[in-house]
Structures are given as structure tokens and as C-alpha cells.
Amino acid sequence: MRKIRRTAAALAVMTMLVLTAVACGNQEPEEKTPTATPVSEATPTTEATPTAEATPTSEATPTAEPTDAPATPTVTPSETGEAVYEAKYLGVKDYGEPDTKKENIAQFLYRFSIDGSEKIYAIDNSAEDADDNLLYPIQNKLKEGYDYRITVKDDVVVDVTEIGEAAAAYEPVVKGTPGEKTLINFIKTSMMPVGTTLYVYGGGWDWQDEGSAIQARTLGVSPDWVKFFNEQDENYTFRDKDDNADLRDPKTSYYPFGAYNEYYYAGLDCSGFVGWVVYNTMETESGKDGYVGSSTKMAGKLADRGWGDFSRELMLPSENSDQPNMISATGEVPCLKPGDVISIKGHVWISLGTCDDGSILIVHSTNGHMSRTGQPGGGVAIGAIGLSEECEAYKLADAYMSKYYKEWYRRYPARLCNPDTYLKLESDAAGRFTWNTEAEGGLTDEFGVQNMKPADVLKLCFGE
């Protein structure tokens, strides 16, 4: 079977050389855009401190003048016919066109700039896992606008190595410790990308949209996320300018048109974020199996690992239902604890606990943030679930984002999330995961974090 697959892959590569390239126009991956955070819902947000001031970018895809002239190899072609070039990756040819979609991946062609001229190559897709699934190892390394040393044989790229100056390491405001299996470390780790990582649909998933990207299986905040954040400004939009589908333009968008994740490396979506947090809490080295998966099923999957309990219960009867900022007028109040992971239909978020007034402090990656110029984008930030901006959770989110994440806050106000969507379990797979701090292999809680109020959790995280 594997031999047949490899033969088919080889034929597909040869076909690519004679067919017109297809571009990304993907059938949207299931459950990536949170239904809980619609792009039309404007809610205040707060910000974080990037390594440098943001520089506006208008084009998603760099361009170079196409030419048929042969490129000059950096290394003389060997007897095998391979040549090595230094090149800048420019993206999939015909990105955003109707036929450039996942089902036509075998026909994709790729754009590179070599010596200032654009060259078009196919990519070798013969690498497979033990179950004969294609791995796309080259595509999972390529990032638009980055420089590579590429090896080409018969107009097919067979290997790539990223070159150029390494991005400066980002120093998070709050730092977690890889492999420290404590509840406070899980929460500290969730804070690390806050305010410097934008929402990218499919961000944290691999290029083929089936599992974890390299960045989501790497320890620490990815320099790629910080670089992308610094290249954008308050006019960044995750898909549609002015939240208007009529203004959708694949040529200037980072949305994965075509059902494959061309911009997997640039930021994080909700499940990419939580998957990265779990990886950086549980693992001590990069490159192992990742934790990114369906947002709606993520809470249940964590429970399946034996790390805690899964429940469909988010609310409990309250003795103080007359408080003005209570989540519910029916006499119920959230029972969510710090560190809980909540999956709703199409979205997943991490609880930082329930305030005395029933509002909830959370951390998540969402496209529901409206920037101060009215663009739906957002990303990883501390937010609140409550009835008004007078609730305690919103005041905490606003205070901490404005104090510690100034560039983010300049672009985004703090976000107040709607309880009617964030506390609604529309899918049978959705629910709440709570860490069992006595479970073997799970997280311990020597600080008693699960019983803390959000204000105390933040003070512990930020060393106040």
C-alpha cells in the first residue's frame, strides 16, 4: 500500500509541473471559528507588551517579479541533479482562488524569490507516517516572508532549512516553567502569550489542518507570533475588513482560504492556544506529540487522559442571586474554578475563577475582539464573562491588560464576553474539565489555587 501511495505522490508531483497551480480556498475547518465569539460582536479588550512597536503590514503575500530565467544555485548541482538556492518563501501560487483548496493539494505550486526573481516549484510530498498518512514536512516549515536554503531537483523542492537572523527571544511578563506539573504553573503558562499573539484561524494547527503545528509543540512563546504581532497594528483583521464579508480579500488576509493553514505559524486560535498551554505545562522538550484538537471536545479529551473530571455543570444555585452583577437572574452562579478548561461549541477557554459578583475572569484566544478602529481580530488576552463593564472580572481584565500589556491595550480595549454564549453547552461533547490535583500524572495544587478568587490568582501570577 505504501509503495502505491509513494508512486501516486510522485505522479502528482510530475502533474504539478504541467498543471496550473491551485490556490487556497479551503472548506473551513470544523469548529475553528468560535461560535461563542462571533466576529460581529464588539466587546472591550486589553493589551500586552510586544518586543517592539508594531509596524503596519498591508499585504499578506510578498511579491517578486516573475521570470523564466534560470536561477543561479548557491551550491553547484550535484550528480543527483540537486541544486541549492537561498530563497525567500512567497506562498502558495494562486492563493485564494476557488480551485486552490485542500482537495487539490497534490497540484499546488509554490512561489519563491531567488536573486530578486520569482520562481515557481512543486514540493516533494512523499513523506508518510506509519499509517501511510502524508506528513507535509516541508510545508510545515515554510512561512511567508522568511528566508530559506532550499534544495531543488527537477523543479521540485525536496528540502528546506530556515536561514537568516534568529528572532530576538520574547520575555513574557509572566513566565511558566516547562514540565512543572502544578496548577499555578498551568495558569502562569497560559499568561505567557497574552498580549503578544494575534488570533489566526488555524494558528497552532499544522499546515494540513490535522494536528499540532511545530510552534504548538515547542517550548516557549514562538518568535513567529511576536514577529507577526509587531508587523500588524490596530487595523489587523483575522478575515473580513470592517467585519464585512463583502470586503473579504484573500490577497490581503491571513485566513486559511482552502482548508489548509497557510498561516499556521503566525498566531493562535482558541484550540491552538490551549493545546500550546497544555504542552508547555506537561512537557520538558520540544517536538513531541501535541495536544491541539477540536475546541468543542478538548475538555473531554483532557479528562480522558486521567488528569481530572469532566462535567456538564457550569452553574450552581446561589444564596445571593440579588447581586446586580450576577451572571444569572434565575438564582444560579458559575461554579468555575481557576484552571478549569471549558469547551463550548466552537470555542475553548481557560477559567481564572469566579468573582464574588458571579462574573468570571478568563484567558483565551478569540477573534471576537474588536480593535479600537473597529476591526475583528484580537488574540490571546485576559477577558471577562459578565453582564456589564461594572462587573469585577471586567475591571480586573481591564486593569491588568492596561498595566502590563500596553501595546495590546493601545489596539484593543478589554473584552466583556456574553454569558449567554460562553456558558451555553450546545454540543453533547462540550463541557467543563477540572484538574484532579490528586490524580497521578496530573497537576498538584500546593498553593490552593483552585479555591482562590481571580484577584488573588492574578496577584500570585504577577508577583504582586
Instruction: Render pLDDT for 424-450 as a digit per residue (tens, 0 to 9).
Output: 999 999 999 999 999 888 999 999 999
**Pair (307, 445) in one structural domain:** yes
User: How high does pLDDT run on average in the chain?
Assistant: 84
**Pair (13, 105) in one structural domain:** yes
Q: What confidence score (pLDDT) does residue 397 get?
A: 98
With 50 as the cut, is the pLDDT of residue 15 above it? no
Work out the pLDDT band at 59, boundaries 50, 70, 90. very low
**Pair (308, 410) in one structural domain:** yes
Q: Which three cell numbers stand for residue 237?
A: 483583521
Residues near 157 by Cβ (< 8 Å), separated by ≥ 6? 110, 112, 121, 122, 123, 124, 138, 150, 151
How far apart, in whole angstroms, are the C-alpha atoms of residue 406 and residue 413?
Answer: 11
280-284 average pLDDT score: 98
Q: What confidence score (pLDDT) does residue 23 get?
A: 28
Count of structural domains, the chain: 2
Q: What confidence score (pLDDT) does residue 45 get?
A: 34
Residues near 428 by Cβ (< 8 Å), separated by ≥ 6? none
Q: Cα dihedral sign for 44, 47, 53, 57? A: negative
**Pair (308, 209) in one structural domain:** yes
**Pair (154, 251) in one structural domain:** no
Q: What confidence score (pLDDT) does residue 400 get?
A: 98
Indicate whether 44 belongs to any domain: no
Q: Cα dihedral sign for 439, 442, 444, 450? A: negative
- The residue among 414, 463, 388, 464 whose CA lies nearest residue 48 is 414
Work out the pLDDT band at 67, boundaries 50, 70, 90. low
156-160 average pLDDT score: 97
Task: Let me know if 71 is exposed, middle or buried by CB neighbors in 10 A (0-12, 13-18, 19+).
Answer: middle
Pairing state between β 347-354 and 360-366: antiparallel
Q: What percent of the chain has pLDDT over 90?
A: 65
How far apart, in whole angstroms, are the C-alpha atoms of residue 248 and residue 313?
Answer: 39
Work out the pLDDT band at 19, boundaries 50, 70, 90. very low
With 70 as the cut, is the pLDDT of residue 97 above it? yes
38-59 average pLDDT score: 35
Look up cell 527571544; give the residue.
Answer: 169
Indicate whether 40 belongs to any domain: no
How far apart, in whole angstroms, are the C-alpha atoms of residue 54 and residue 258?
Answer: 29
How far apart, in whole angstroms, are the C-alpha atoms of residue 190 and residue 274?
Answer: 8
**Pair (223, 283) in one structural domain:** yes
**Pair (73, 196) in one structural domain:** no
Work out the pLDDT band at 12, boundaries 50, 70, 90. very low
- Chosen domain end from 114, 130, 162: 162
**Pair (263, 390) in one structural domain:** yes
38-61 average pLDDT score: 36
How far apart, in whole angstroms, are the C-alpha atoms of residue 306 and residue 440?
Answer: 8
With 50 as the cut, is the pLDDT of residue 8 above it? no
With 60 as the cut, is the pLDDT of residue 47 above it? no
**Pair (195, 149) in one structural domain:** no
Q: What confidence score (pLDDT) does residue 328 get?
A: 55
Residue 34 DSSP one-character state? -
**Lowest mean pLDDT segment, chosen from 38-52, 202-216, 288-302:** 38-52
Indicate whether 445 belongs to any domain: yes
With 50 as the cut, is the pLDDT of residue 13 above it? no
Q: What confidence score (pLDDT) does residue 63 get?
A: 47
With 50 as the cut, is the pLDDT of residue 330 above it? yes
Indicate whether 172 belongs to any domain: no
Indicate whether 195 belongs to any domain: yes
**Lowest mean pLDDT segment, chosen from 55-64, 268-277, 383-392:** 55-64
Indicate whether 37 belongs to any domain: no
**Pair (147, 213) in one structural domain:** no
Work out the pLDDT band at 25, boundaries 50, 70, 90. very low
Which residues is 444 bridged to in the sheet?
Answer: 182
With 80 as the cut, is the pLDDT of residue 17 above it? no
Q: What confidence score (pLDDT) does residue 69 get?
A: 60
**Pair (329, 420) in one structural domain:** yes
72-81 average pLDDT score: 64
With 50 as the cut, is the pLDDT of residue 96 above it? yes
With 90 as the cut, is the pLDDT of residue 245 above it? no
Work out the pLDDT band at 332, boundaries 50, 70, 90. confident
- Chosen domain end from 162, 191, 215: 162
- Chosen domain end from 132, 162, 192: 162
Q: What confidence score (pLDDT) does residue 360 get?
A: 95
**Higher pLDDT, residue 173 or 318:** 173
**Pair (139, 268) in one structural domain:** no
Q: 395 is in which domain, residue-wise?
A: 183-462
Work out the pLDDT band at 253, boundaries 50, 70, 90. confident
With 50 as the cut, is the pLDDT of residue 124 above it? yes
Q: What confidence score (pLDDT) does residue 48 get?
A: 35
**Lowest mean pLDDT segment, chosen from 123-127, 134-138, 326-330, 397-401:** 326-330
With 80 as the cut, is the pLDDT of residue 34 above it? no
- The residue among 153, 155, 190, 150 whose CA lies nearest residue 174 is 190
- CA distance readout (Å), 339 to 17, 280, 301: 51, 15, 15
